[in-house]
Structure 1
C-alpha cells in the first residue's frame, strides 16, 4: 500500500474528545479512546481544558503506537471555535465555550460590523456560535488581549500547531458560520479587517494539505517518528461529508449526527436559504460551498432521554400511531429550523418506550425539515450515533423520496479525517434502510408537521 497504513485521528466534538486509530485500507477504527470535553468555569470566561486534552492525546498516541503503529495524524474538531495565541505560541486567552452568552451583551455593536448573509452564508446565531462574535466580544472585555494576540488559528489547527509548530487555518472551519469567510470567493470577509485581525489570522489552507511533521518533543513523548506527517485538519461535519464527496455522484446528502445534526446537500435543488431557520453555507474539503441546515439534535436527545433506557416495543409503536403522542420543536429553542419555539409533549408519555420512540421520530422529522430547507435530493447518508437509532432511521426512510443509508462507522468524522491521507472514495459499510410502514409513518409525519407550525407545547 502506498501511503500511511494506520492514521491516528484527533476528534474533538462538543461532548467528547477522542483519539481514534483508523486503518487506511478499510477506514475502520482499530482503537478508540474517549475523554469528556468538559467546560471549565473560568475566569475569565467558560473555556475548554486544552492542556488536559493535550496530555490525553499524547498518552493515547503512545499507547496506539506501541500496540499498532501510527503512520500519520489527522485532526477534526467542532466548529465555531478558534484559539488565540501570543507571539511565543502560548495561549493569549483561554478558548471560549461557544455556548457562553457573553457575545449577546454586545449584539448590536457586532451586528453593525458583520457582513450580510448573502456574502458569508453565515446566519446570525446566538451566544458565540458566530466565531466573529466571539472574537469581537473577547477583544472588548479583555483590554490587554489585542496587544497579546499574535495568531488566530481555527480549532483543528491548534492541535496541528501543538504537534508540528506550524500555523494555519482550514477553509472548512473558516466556512462554518464564522462571518469571517466568503464561501463563493474563497477569501476572508471584510469582518477580519474590521476586527483588526487581517495580519493575525493564520493562512488558510485546504484540509488535506500536509501541515508539517512532528516536533522533536512530541516524537520523544509518544515514540512516533519525527517524520510522521500531520494533515491540516477539518471541521467535523465536513469530515463526515468528505468520504461521500470522494465516492458519490451528486445529488446526495449527508446527515452528520452528534451534539449537532447537520444536513448537507450536495448537488441538490436550488433553494433560497433562510438564515432565520438556521440554514447556512458550509465549505467542503475541496473548497466548494454546500447548502446546509442544522439543529442541536444530540443535545435534544440527551435532554429528553433523561436517563431512560427502555427500548420501544410494538405496543409503544401502535400507541404513537393511534394516540397522537408528539414531541414538538424545539427542545433546544436557540437553534434549528424552529428557533425561538419552546417545544414539548402533546401529552404525557405512558411508558418510557413511547417517550423514546417519539423522541426518535421527532429527531427524524427535524432532520427531514433540515434536508428540505437545504434543497436535498438523491440518497441520504446518515453518519454518527443516529445511524444506529432504528426508530430514527425508520421514520427518515419513510419520508425521503430516495434511499436512506446508515453508515457503519462508530465515528464517521474519524473516517473522513483519515481520508485526508487515504485520499480515495471507498465507503466503510452502509446499510440501506427499508421503512416498516411508510404510509403510517407518513401520516404521523403530516400531523407532526402541521402541529409544528401551529402549536407551542410545554416541555415535561
Structure 2
C-alpha cells in the first residue's frame, strides 16, 4: 500500500517510446505524484525524430513543479533501450544534439540495412538478433554517419537516453552498463569490450567512460537551475535501462536467483541463472547487462500488439471470467503465433497468426483468448530461459486476476510469484538513490500465484498442442535481416 503522506525525495524521469513520465517518489520507491506527456515525434528531414527541445522544456519545467510540491533531492532517469543521442560538447546548444534523435520505429534506408549486417558481429557481440527498423543504436549511428558524415564527425559523444538527460543536467558524459547492454549492438557484454562495428568505424571516441547507474554526477548545472527554478543542490544520478531497473528492484531486495518476467508492450524475461550458451538467437533471446555489468539472459516477445490482434480493439478492461477461459480451453480454441511482423519465439511465424478450433463467439471470448495467449507466451518465455525455480511476474497483465494463475498452470513447474505494483521501472530507478542500503526490501509486495483451477491434464495437453502448432512455422530460405 502506498503511503501518500511520505515525503517524495526522488524524481524519476521514465522515458518510454510512447509516453514520458516524471514521478515524485519516496526513498522506498513509492510513487507520490506523476506528470506525463506523449513522447513527441516529428517527421523528417533528415528522418523521423524525437523532439528533444520540446521534451526538454517539459522535463525541466515539470521537475521544477514537482520540486515546489515535494522535497526533491535526487534526480535519476530510466529509459527504453532503443534510444540514443549523438551530442556535441555543449548541453546548452539547443537540445545538445548534433543530429536529431532517430525514432527507432521506422524503416532503414536500404543502403544502411545492407551495410549493417556484415559489420554487426556475432550473437555474442550483439547480444540479440538484428531486429526491425532502427531498433539498435549501432544501426542508428551507421545511418547518421552514412547520411550526414560531416555533422557526424563533429560529434563529441553518443549517449543512451538516461545518460543524455544526466548530461543535459550536469554537463558530465558517461556510459552505463545496463543501457549499452540493452541490444545497443555497441557493447559486447560477456567480454566487456566494444563490438566489432565500434572498432571498425572508429566510434570508440564517441563512447564516454563507464560509471555505475547509482553513482552521482554532481548537482544540476547552475545555469539550468536558474533558468527553470530547479533546486540548486539537486543531485543527478547516472541512470539506468528500464527493464534493468525493474530487475534491480528485485536484486536489491535479495531475490538474486529469481527470474523476472515483466509484461506490457513487450513481455521481457530476465534470468541470471540461465547459461548464455543456452540462448537461441533465432527465438528472440538476448544477452542483457544488469547494473553491475553482469550478463543476464533475456527473452523477448511482443505482447501488447499480439494481445490486440486477438482481442480486437475496444474490448474493454473487465476481468476475464474463469468459466469463459475453461470453455475456450475445453473446446481447443487457441491463438497460434505470430500475428505481428516479428517471429518472437517461433522462427518463420511472423504474420502467420491464426485461431485454431471453434472461433470465439463474442468480444468477451476474444478478450479471454487473448489473455490465454499472452499467458502462453509468458510461460514460453520462462521455458526458453530454462527457469526451473522461482519466477516473479509483474506489469500490465497482472491487472487481470487470471493472468498469474494461467502462467503458473502453463509453466507446470517452479514457484510463480507476482507483484501488483505497476511502477516497477520507476521503483527500481528510485532505489538507486539508496544503493547499498536495506530500503529495497520494503518496496516488494509479492504474492504466490494459485494455479488456474482446471484439470492439470487439460491445461497441459492444451499448451503442448499450442506449442506444437506454433513450431510448425518454417523459416523461409528467402528471409533476410530486417
TM-score, normalised with respect to structure 1: 0.92
Pick from 355, 378, 389: which aligns with 1:378? 389
Secondary structure of the structure 1 residue equivalent to 2:205: coil
1:434 pairs, out of 419, 431, 450, with 450
CA distance in 1, matches of 2:65, 2:347: 44
Q: Deviations over 1:181-206 (max 9, x none)?
A: 12123232232121221112222222
Q: Please state how far the C-alpha of 1:381 moved relative to its aligned partner.
A: 1.4
Which region of structure 1 is more displaced relative to structure 2, 366-375 or 215-224?
215-224
d(CA) in 1 for partners of 2:54, 2:393? 31
Q: Which runs of 4+ in 1 moved over 6 A?
A: none
- C-alpha distance in 1 between matches for 2:57 and 2:152: 29
From 182, 189, 193, the equivalent of 1:187 is 193
- 1:133-152 per-position Cα deviation (integer Å, ceiling 9, x unaligned): 22112211224332332211
The aligned counterpart of 1:326 is 334
Deviates more, 1:378-387 or 1:12-21: 378-387
Q: What are the ranges of 5 or more consecutive residues in structure 2 without an aligned counterpart?
A: 1-6, 475-482
2:80 maps to: 78
Q: Which string of whole-angstrom CA distances, capped at 9 and with x for unpartnered residues, describes residues 148-180 of structure 1?
A: 322111111111112112111211111111221
* Offset at residue 256 of structure 1 (A): 2.2
SS at match of 2:278: coil
Q: Partner of 2:236: helix, strand, or coil?
A: strand
Q: 2:317, 2:230 → 1: CA distance? A: 45
Number of equivalences = 452
TM (norm. structure 2) is 0.88
Quick one: which of 426, 430, 441 aligns to 1:418?
A: 430
Is contact 2:325-2:372 (8 Å) kept? no
Paired with 1:219 and 1:383, the residues of 2 have a C-alpha distance of 36
Structure 2 distance, partners of 1:271, 1:202, is 30
Secondary structure, counterpart of 2:450 in structure 1: coil
Taking the TM superposition and a 5 Å limit, the aligned residue runs for 1:113-192 are 113-192=119-198
Cα distance in 2 between the residues matched to 1:261 and 1:70: 32
Q: Bigger shift: 438-447 or 196-205?
A: 438-447
Q: Distance in 1 between matches of 2:164 and 2:82?
A: 14
CA distance in 2, matches of 1:218, 1:299: 40
Secondary structure, counterpart of 1:112 in structure 2: helix
Structure 2 equivalent of residue 344 of structure 1 = 354
Superposition pairs of residues 265-344 of structure 1, within 5 angstroms: 265-268=271-274, 271-304=277-310, 305-309=312-316, 311=318, 312-334=320-342, 336-341=344-349, 342=351, 343-344=353-354
2:410 is aligned with 1:399: yes
Partners of 1:254 and 1:381 within 8 A in 2:
yes
Q: Report what 1:100 is aligned to.
A: 106
1:387 aligns with 2:398: yes
Q: Distance in 1 between matches of 2:354 and 2:35?
A: 35
1:222: Cα distance to partner?
4.8
SS in 1 for 2:100: coil
**Alpha-carbon distance between aligned partners in 1 of 2:235 and 2:309, rounded to the nearest angstrom:** 40
Alignment of 1:238-277 (within 5 A): 238-268=244-274, 271-277=277-283
- Which shows bigger deviation, 392-401 or 98-107? 98-107
Counterpart CA distance in 2 for 1:353 and 1:217 is 56
1:362-381 CA distances to partner (integer Å, 9 max, x unpaired)?
A: 11211222222223232111
1:271/1:374 contact within 8 Å kept? no
> CA shift at 1:386, angstroms?
2.1
- Kept in 2, the 8 Å contact 1:33–1:60? The answer is yes
CA distance in 1, matches of 2:154, 2:395: 39
Residue 226 (structure 1) shift:
1.7
Farther off after superposition, 371-380 or 435-444: 435-444
> Secondary structure, in 3 states, of the residue corresponding to 1:158?
helix
Q: 1:192 to 1:269 in 2, by over 3 A?
A: closer
Partner of 1:49: 51
Query: Once the 2 structures are TM-superposed, how far is the Cα of residue 269 of structure 1 from its aligned partner?
Result: 5.8
Q: For 1:60 and 1:281, locate their aligned partners in 2 and report how far apart those are by CA, in whole Å.
A: 35
Q: Is the 8 A contact 1:264 1:376 kept in 2?
A: no
1:449 is aligned to 2:467: yes
Task: Return the offset for 1:411.
Answer: 1.5
Match of 2:480 in 1: none
Note if contact 1:293-1:336 (Cα within 8 Å) is conserved in structure 2. no
- Mapped to 1, the partners of 2:337 and 2:451 lie a distance apart of 23
